[in-house]
């Protein structure tokens, strides 16, 4: 989904590879899964709020 949005924004494969390498250098391999979990939670909360479902804040 995110890759599709980036491709629609005019970014090609080489640009995505450079972005991936920069993210890896900035955050390191151990931090990326935690960042992706947080991103997934944010997307889920956004979809729930958009659909009108109650969001459970923990």
> pTM (2 decimals)?
0.49
Cβ-contact 6, 16 below 8 angstroms: yes
Instruction: Specify if 56 maps to a domain.
Output: no
pLDDT of 55 strictly over 60 = no
Question: Are 55 and 45 contacting, i.e. CB atoms less than 8 angstroms apart?
Answer: yes
Domain-located, residue 58: no
Q: Which structural domain, as residue segments, surrounds residue 28? A: 1-51
In a domain, 9, yes or no: yes
Q: Which residue has the higher pLDDT, 58 or 27?
A: 27
5 has pLDDT over 60:
yes
Residue 41 within any structural domain of the chain: yes
Residue 41 has a pLDDT of: 92
DSSP helix/strand/coil, 12:
coil
The three-point CA angle 38-51-10 to 5° equals 60
Averaged pLDDT score across all residues of the chain: 79
**Average pLDDT of span 33-37:** 86
3-class state of residue 10 by DSSP = coil
């Amino acid at each position: 989904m995110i890759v599709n949005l980036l491709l629609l924004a005019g970014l090609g494969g080489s640009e995505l590879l450079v972005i991936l390498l920069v993210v890896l250098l900035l955050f390191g391999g151990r931090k990326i899964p935690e960042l992706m979990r947080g991103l997934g939670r944010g997307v889920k909360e956004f979809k729930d709020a958009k659909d009108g479902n109650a969001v459970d804040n923990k």
